[in-house]
Structure formats: C-alpha cells, structure tokens
C-alpha cells in the first residue's frame, strides 16, 4: 500500500503513532492534525498524544537535522506540522488543568527563534493551572524586565536552544541582581543544550529538562513560597 492510500482511522494505535512519527519529517500538518484528533477520539490523554506521537516525531527530525540529512526548510515544515497538533491539544491540556497555581512569564532569549519547546512548556504550565504570559522569541533583557514589571509574575521562565544564546540567560539574571529584583522571582531555565550545572552556574533557581519537569519544579517552588508566606 502506498502512503497515499493509508487511511489513518483504520490503523491500530501503535501503527497510527508510528505513522505520526514520520509526519513531521514529511511536513504533513493535516495528517498530524487528523492523527491527533483520532487519538483523542480513541480516549488518549492529551499529554500522551503530545509526548508519544508529536514530541517523539520531532525528535527524529532533530537527529537528522543534526546529522545534515534535513535542512532548515524541511525543519520549518516539521515545526509547522508539530504546531498544528499542538494547537488541537492546547485547549485540552488546559481544560484538564487544576486551580490557579501562580503566574509565569516565559520567553526565548535574544538571538534565538526556537519556540516549540517553550510553547510546550507554556501549554503544560497552563494545563497545570498557571497563568502564562508568553513573550515569544528573541527577547532582550529590556523586554523581560518590562514584562516582569507589567505582569508581576511568580516565575520567570527562559528558553534557549543554541549554545550561542544560552549565555544570554546569565545577562538577564545578572541584570535582575543589579536592580535588586532577583529575589522577587523564581527563575527557571530550559532548552536542549542546557544542563543542571549550567543552571546553577548562571544563578537560576532550577534547570528543567522538559515541560513535565518544568511543571513539577514550578509547583514545588510555589508550594514553598506559599508555606513561607503563611509561616
């Protein structure tokens, strides 16, 4: 059977998920959207559809981009397909969420236009009951400061996907220190090239490996903040 003849709704869950792993690679946004809708209609939890079908497919794209098999235009199409699936899952993830936990301002740092991971973190935080103000990509220290003043969040989240842009997180944190604002916020950082050691070295409160860890870490910090306030 050729790819054209595949009827997604006739595939088993395992076959469908395998097919969806190939879809970002081929930039097939509509097929990803259809696949997500089928999984949800079959009773899949939105989080499982996100991680097992979408993120896993994007990981394959990432490996081939790294190895020089795929190039920027193909990766842009893959990102577009991924975003189609995420747009369906976002309201579902939010609907399964809990009571309001706190507020987060999140953005990708200056010089960096990667936003898929950051968007995922924002979605998962909203799903967990956080109010999220997303600053988008390429944020200068001034933009972060402006948003912190305007939004008065509990948490500042920063994302960086490039080894050349991750040091900018330290610029933001150092500026907060200089202005005597550092202790006003819980600062969480994430992105593929970071690690825990880097998070500590730049003075963040925590490095978050993925969106689920970001949610758990944020909840933990908020609990401690509330406990301190009521002590």
Sign, CA dihedral 200-120-40-29, equals negative
Binding residue for ligand B1M, selected from 32, 49, 89, 116, defined by CB under 6 A: 116
Nearer to ligand B1M, 189 or 222 (CB): 189
CB of 230 to ligand B1M, least distance (A): 25
How far does CA 172 lie from the centroid of its chain? 20
Q: Is 187 a binder of ligand B1M (CB under 6 A)?
A: no
Site string for ligand B1M, 68-87 (x = CB under 6 A): ----x--xx--x--------
Q: Whose structure tokens read 């870490």?
A: 217
Binding residue for ligand B1M, selected from 1, 66, 149, 178, defined by CB under 6 A: 66
Q: Is 220 a binder of ligand B1M (CB under 6 A)?
A: no
Q: Is 190 a binder of ligand B1M (CB under 6 A)?
A: yes
Provide the pairing of β-strand 186-190 with 206-208: parallel
Piece in contact with ligand B1M (CB under 6 A), picked from 12-20, 42-50, 116-124, 176-184: 116-124
Sign, CA dihedral 136-139-142-148, equals positive
Q: Is 110 a binder of ligand B1M (CB under 6 A)?
A: no
Nearer to ligand B1M, 27 or 190 (CB): 190
Q: Which of 211, 200, 185 is nearest to 125 (CA)?
A: 211
CB 88 within 8 A of CB 50: no
Distance CA 189, CA 230 (A): 27
| Neighbouring C-beta atoms of residue 183, cutoff 10 Å | 8
Q: Helices 13-22 and 56-66, interaxial angle, to 10°?
A: 30
Distance CA 231, CA 220 (A): 17
Binding residue for ligand B1M, selected from 163, 220, 223, 226, defined by CB under 6 A: 163
Site for ligand B1M in 24-43 (CB under 6 A): none
Binding residue for ligand B1M, selected from 113, 150, 201, 223, defined by CB under 6 A: 113
CB 57 within 8 A of CB 82: yes
Helix (H, G, I), strand (E, B) or coil at 65: helix
CB of 1 to ligand B1M, least distance (A): 30
Contact residues toward ligand B1M (CB under 6 A) are: 55, 58, 61-62, 65-66, 72, 75-76, 79, 106, 111-118, 120-121, 157, 159, 161-163, 188-193, 208, 210-211, 214
């Amino acid at each position: 059977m050729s790819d054209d003849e595949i009827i997604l709704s006739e595939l088993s869950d395992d076959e469908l998920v395998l097919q969806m792993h190939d879809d970002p690679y081929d930039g097939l946004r509509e097929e990803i959207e259809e696949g997500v809708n089928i999984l949800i209609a079959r009773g899949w939890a939105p989080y499982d559809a996100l991680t097992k079908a979408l993120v896993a497919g994007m990981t394959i794209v990432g490996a081939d981009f790294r190895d020089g098999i795929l190039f920027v235009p193909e990766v842009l199409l893959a990102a577009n397909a991924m975003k189609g699936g995420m747009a369906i899952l976002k309201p579902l993830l939010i609907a399964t969420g809990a009571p309001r936990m706190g507020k987060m301002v999140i953005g990708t740092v200056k010089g960096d236009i990667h936003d898929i991971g950051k968007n995922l973190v924002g979605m998962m935080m909203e799903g967990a009951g956080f109010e999220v103000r997303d600053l988008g990509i390429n944020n200068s220290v001034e933009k972060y400061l402006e948003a912190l003043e305007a939004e008065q969040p509990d948490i500042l989240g920063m994302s960086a996907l490039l080894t050349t842009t991750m040091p900018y997180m330290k610029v933001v944190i150092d500026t907060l220190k200089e202005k005597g604002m550092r202790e006003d916020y819980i600062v969480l950082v994430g992105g593929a090239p970071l690690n825990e050691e880097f998070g500590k070295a730049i003075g963040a409160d925590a490095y978050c490996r993925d969106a689920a860890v970001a949610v758990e870490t944020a909840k933990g910090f908020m609990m401690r903040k509330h406990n301190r306030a009521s002590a």
